[in-house]
Amino acid sequence: MPAERIDGVAIAARVRAKVAVDAAALKASHGVTPGLTVVLVGDDPASAVYVASKEKACKEAGMNGETIRLAADTPEAELLAVIDRLNADVGVHGILVQMPVPKHIDAQKVIRRIDPRKDVDGFHPVNAGKVLIGDADGFAPCTPAGVQVMLIESGVDTSGKEAVILGRSTIVGKPMAALLIQSGKGADCTVTICHSRTKDLAAHTRRADILIAAIGKPEMVTADMVKPGAVVIDVGINRVDDPTAKKGYRIVGDVKFDEVSQVASKITPVPGGVGPMTIAMLLANTVRAARLTVGA
């Protein structure tokens, strides 16, 4: 029997609907409208589209959404000064500097300059540490946080399960492991992280009750690498050439969907799986940041 598709679009819509309710309640009770400011340096087309979608999502949720656009040759000091101003602005509850930044700017310096209480992307070392120790005040990066919500919303029993994560990035792999290993709902897993130096990768993936692919290689995970009945979460977004497609390419994940969906019990498609959850969780983090400022 083909695997059940985990509908990221529908789950993200529910998260965003709750965000709108929470934002309205915060405004009614404390006169505070959650505000997210995104800083875009340069004119990368993909980043511009993504930033525009974040601003639109904020407004749809009844939040303040601002985008600050800076030229690609903006000095690092000028960008840091913008962040300092936003840190001091009580109307800004979330700050996100769209990555990647131009090569002359130190991305880590930028991330560390953001007030951890406004770091709704969850990349500041303070938040990384809080997520690792299970501190509820920390902000988890949006993609792994979204994956955890998807598991919960899809009725996946994670307690005591073997979770194997492909990829050790600080954006997905490492924080995903930190979330799944905690005690609580959508967690309590035994976690293995695999990466480019892992020997006999398939031996690890075939043990997984929950397999999360975030390795950035198109359709690398095949059916023979998956345990029958496993839950497969595909975080990958890869562009592959396809002369038959209207745009000359198609978007695929890290999992060979047609094959693996015949083996897994549940699976996320690409597109329409994890992707929509990222912005939804960004909004959720921003509302939570606003609530923390008033002790709500």
- Collapsed DSSP state (helix, strand, coil) of residue 219: coil
- Of 22, 119, 121, 234, catalytic: 121
φ, ψ of residue 39 to 5 degrees: the values are -110, 125
Residue 185 catalytic?
Answer: no
Distance CA 124, CA 101 (A): 16
The owner of tokens 């505000």 is 35
φ, ψ of residue 46 to 5 degrees: the values are -65, -40
- Of 22, 54, 254, 266, catalytic: 54
DSSP 8-state class, residue 218: T
Distance CA 86, CA 94 (A): 9
Residue 196 tokens, joined: 């480019």
- Collapsed DSSP state (helix, strand, coil) of residue 106: coil
Distance CA 132, CA 59 (A): 32
H or E stretch at 148: helix 142-153
Estimate the crossing angle of helix 275-294 against helix 45-60, to 10 degrees.
50
Residue 224 catalytic?
Answer: no
Contact yes or no for 55/68 (Cβ under 8 A): no
- Of 22, 98, 118, 130, catalytic: 98
Residue 254 catalytic?
Answer: no
| Active centre residues (catalytic) | 54, 98, 121
